[in-house]
Amino acid sequence: MLRLLQIELIKIWNNKSSRFLMFSYFGLLMFLFLFSMVKIDFGGFEFHLAKQGIFDFPYIWHFNTYVADYFKLFLAIVIVSMIANEYSNKTLKQNLIDGLSKKEFVLSKFLTTVLFALVSTAMVFIISMILGLIYSSFDEIGIIFSQMEFLPAYFLKLVGFFSICLFFAVLTKKSAFSLGFLVLWSIVETIISGISSYNDGKLDFLVRLLPLKSMGSLIKEPFTRMSGVRTAANQVGVELNAEYGVSLTDITITSVWIIIFIYFSYYLIKRRDL
């Protein structure tokens, strides 16, 4: 496995575009959280985002994993480019001639996506821990390490999303088409979700089974958990009773989709005459 992973990392590192996207992803991730530490003083009005409670333990685990998820497209582009380059540069065929099996090829790509997700999760953990220790009003060990299920949920969400990208890349063999299919699939899920809402949620059971929706449900929006938002809602007579925890059902559905997408990626490559 390490040999397969090493081969993929060398390929990615030798690609300037992939290097740029990876550095951009991790750079933006770090910049976003560092920017939240900046105090804004304008005309006597002072605003410090870090003082709004977003970095309080254990809320920080929920907030940071939710926000960091928006940058995953950078790594998704690296993944689809990784597959597309195999076809355009004829390296896939050459690797098979050199003794790499089709199963090992797919496994090497999947291991790379897992590594991306793992590194991203570790980075979010480290940044969140540092910001929390600096700004959180709570420093008890039990509170600091509570609600950390959002981190493995974030990891699973990334692996799931990257698996979809991997499948579309294998299916289309082109980076642009892969991302186009991803956007199209997202639109289809949004339409189905809208139809369900229009029909009083009669299709909610189906919506929950959709891949992107199930992955999105792993980490629900954290903003209505903020005390300021809840106070404002109560003042206008709105009661917020949402469930924010990580659902075992969503974990199971996402895991099944990962298996499905990786299997069919292998199936397509196995059936093709390369």
Sequence-distant (6+) residues with CB within 8 A of 153 are 65, 218, 219, 246, 251
Angle among Cα 144, 148, 149 to the nearest 5 degrees reads 165
Whether 67 is covered by a domain: the verdict is yes
Domain assignment present for residue 20? The answer is no
Task: Decide if 117 contacts 29 (C-beta within 8 A).
Answer: no
Span 37-95, pLDDT tens digits: 666 666 666 666 666 678 889 999 999 999 999 889 888 999 998 888 888 877 777 77
User: Across residues 121-139, what is the average pLDDT?
Assistant: 90
Q: Identify whether 192 is part of a domain.
A: yes
- Report yes or no on whether pTM surpasses 0.75: yes
Least confident of 92-101, 137-146, 160-169: 92-101
- On the 0-12 / 13-18 / 19+ scale of CB atoms within 10 A, 238 is exposed
Confirm whether 38 is domain-assigned: no
Q: Which 3 state secondary structure label does DSSP give 41?
A: strand
Task: For residue 13, tell me if it sits in a domain.
Answer: no
Mean pLDDT, all residues of the chain: 85
Task: Give the pLDDT band (50/70/90) at residue 124.
Answer: very high
Statement: residue 36 has pLDDT above 80: no
pLDDT at 226 over 80: no
Strand partners of residue 46: 41
Instruction: Examine residue 35 and state whether it is found in any structural domain, yes or no.
Output: no
| pLDDT value, residue 230 | 61
- Do the domain assignments include residue 164? yes
Residue 273 has pLDDT above 80, yes or no: no
Show Cβ contacts of residue 46 under 8 Å, excluding neighbours closer than 6 positions. 39, 40
Residue 99 pLDDT greater than 80, yes or no: no
Number of domain units in the chain: 1
Please tell me the predicted confidence (pLDDT) of residue 235: 64
Which of 16-25, 58-67, 203-212, 235-244 has maximum average pLDDT?
58-67
More confident residue, 88 or 116: 116
Task: Give the confidence band of 126 by pLDDT, cuts at 50, 70, 90.
Answer: very high
Q: Give the structural domain span for 97.
A: 50-229+238-271
Rounded to 5 degrees, what angle do the CA atoms 65, 66, 71 make?
A: 85
Q: Is residue 3 a part of any domain in this protein?
A: no
Q: Residue 90 is encoded by which pair of tokens?
A: 């004829």
